[in-house]
Structure 1
């Protein structure tokens, strides 16, 4: 990671940037959640939610929270309480368009994997949206068609998981729409 790029915990002043990045990434897909719901995900697991900072501003973020295997957050509902689970659900990983193709999503993912391992998690899960299933498959995630991503997710959403540790994404690669 270059000297001017930092992965750090989410701060109160980061939410305007996070909400704007989330909206740009997911509104077109009809999957945007809004500030209250996004904040609730970070609040139940602040140790596994991060901001990517470059040039003194937030240019990416990652939200992950413990969730039972084969389950995932409802996009329409805020988290009321966290789960105790050995599965860590990667809910969002978004990098601003101007910073894509620089390996920053990989840096965020690597940081999450290191954090997850140090916290004792055994598995990562996610819901691939926007055609990103192939991207995540290349990183060791396996699709679970029996776990239907329904309700607030699109009909093409795919629940996926992988045991920890996982293979790192090649530098410069990132899915068009990451996870949801």
Structure 2
């Protein structure tokens, strides 16, 4: 990581940039959720941003969620859930910073902060043909978990145990 870049908790002033990155990444795939819904996917203890010193370079949103389940993309979360499973809902790296290892760094950071919080595993839904990236990060597919069409045709539920 460069000296200027750092991972830090999400602050209120980050949300416009998070929303812009999310819309840029997912609008063309029909997966953009919008600012109000997106905020409900961010547990403050397990969500953070990549601050490049000159702006927001990316973000990761994760929240406790039952194993084998996933957020409904059509509505905000109703409330907090208690679970040994942490669901990585979204990870986005700004286009100019992709393919530099930032995504893997964010996944490693999430695992490092999840362990002392006593999470047992991290789950996610791979969308847009990203299954290879997630597999390289240690996630394995669970094809028996049925996903709604709202996640797209190539969506795959995956998880990784926290060691």
Q: Report the TM-score, using the length of structure 2 for normalisation.
A: 0.96
Q: CA deviation at 1:111?
A: 0.9
Equivalent residue in structure 2 for 1:91, among 84, 89, 92? 89
Structure 2: any 5+ residue segments left out of the alignment? none
Partner of 2:33: 33
> What is the CA-CA distance between 1:2 and the residue it aligns to?
2.0
For 2:132 and 2:6, the matched residues in 1 are separated by: 28
- 1:74/1:151 contact within 8 Å kept: no
Residues 107 and 137 in structure 2, CA contact (< 8 A), matched pair in contact too: no
Report the CA distance between 1:102 and its aligned residue: 1.8
The C-alpha deviation readout for 1:12-59, integer Å capped at 9, x for no partner, is 1101100110011111111000000011111xx111010110023111
SS of structure 2 residue aligned to 1:8: strand
Q: Partners in 2 of 1:59 and 1:141 — Cα distance?
A: 24
SS for the counterpart of 2:50 is strand
Does 1:54 find its partner at 2:52? yes
Question: What is the CA-CA distance between 1:143 and the residue it aligns to?
Answer: 0.9
Shift of 1:151: 4.4
Partner residue, 2:3: 3
Q: What's the counterpart of residue 24 of structure 1?
A: 24
Indicate if the aligned counterparts of 1:68 and 1:85 stay in contact, CA closer than 8 A: yes
Structure 2: distance between partners of 1:77 and 1:97 = 27
Match of 2:129 among 128, 131, 136: 131
Cα contact 1:126–1:160 (8 A) shared by 2: yes
What is the Cα-based RMSD across aligned positions, in Å? Answer: 1.1
Question: After TM superposition, which residue ranges in structure 1, 4 or more long, deviate above 2 angstroms?
Answer: none
What TM-score, normalized by structure 1, do the two folds share? 0.87
- Equivalent pairs counted in the alignment come to 163
